[in-house]
Each structure stands twice: as C-alpha cells, then as structure tokens.
C-alpha cells in the first residue's frame, strides 16, 4: 500500500503519477495523519470501473437465476462476457 502526505501531490506530482502508472496501485494521501484522498492512474481506474460494472451485472444475473428467472442462454452469456473482456 502506497501512502503519502497530501503535500506530496503538490511537491512531487510526477513522482506520484509515475508510481501509480508503474505499480497500477492507488496512492493514499493523508492530511494531518488521517486518510484524505486516493489517487490512481486513469487506466487502472477505468479497468476497475469495468470490473465493478461486470461484477454488478453478474450478481444480477445470478440473483435472477437463483430466483428461477431465465432469459439468457449460456451462449448469450458467453458472447456477452467475451465482448466485455475484449473492451
């Protein structure tokens, strides 16, 4: 986990940006010793958002399946997942 004081973003922006890009991990910024912000590179953020959206959609499909609602075939689901992963 990368933790830096909030002043680091002002004083060392390039260093923090490089750290985010190199590791793919967020940098946690603190203010007065307390967690304040999280900074991450845009590619990691977009990948994370896609994964969260996919997880939410899969949870919905699984809930519907458990409830006995079936409106998507396995082939349709496979094609959909291939499309999402391909993005």
Residue bearing the bigger pLDDT, 20 or 86 = 20
Q: What digits encode the pLDDT tens for the residues 20-40?
A: 999 999 999 999 999 999 999
Q: What digits encode the pLDDT tens for the residues 64-79?
A: 888 877 677 778 888 8
Q: Report the alpha-carbon distance of residue 75 to residue 79 in Å, rounded.
A: 6
Tokens (6 digits) for 28 = 């946690």
Q: Which of 58, 49, 65 is nearest to 80 (CA)?
A: 58
Q: Is the Cβ–Cβ distance between 29 and 6 less than 8 Å? A: yes
Q: What is the pLDDT of residue 70?
A: 65
Q: Report the alpha-carbon distance of residue 40 to residue 16 in Å, rounded.
A: 9
């Amino acid at each position: 986990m990368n933790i830096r004081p909030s002043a680091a973003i002002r004083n060392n922006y390039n260093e923090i940006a490089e750290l985010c890009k190199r590791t793919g991990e967020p940098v946690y910024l603190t203010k007065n010793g307390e967690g304040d912000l999280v900074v991450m590179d845009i590619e990691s953020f977009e990948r994370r958002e896609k994964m969260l959206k996919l997880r939410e959609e899969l949870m919905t499909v699984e809930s519907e399946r458990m409830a006995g609602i079936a409106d998507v075939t396995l082939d349709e689901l496979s094609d959909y997942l291939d499309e999402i992963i391909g993005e």
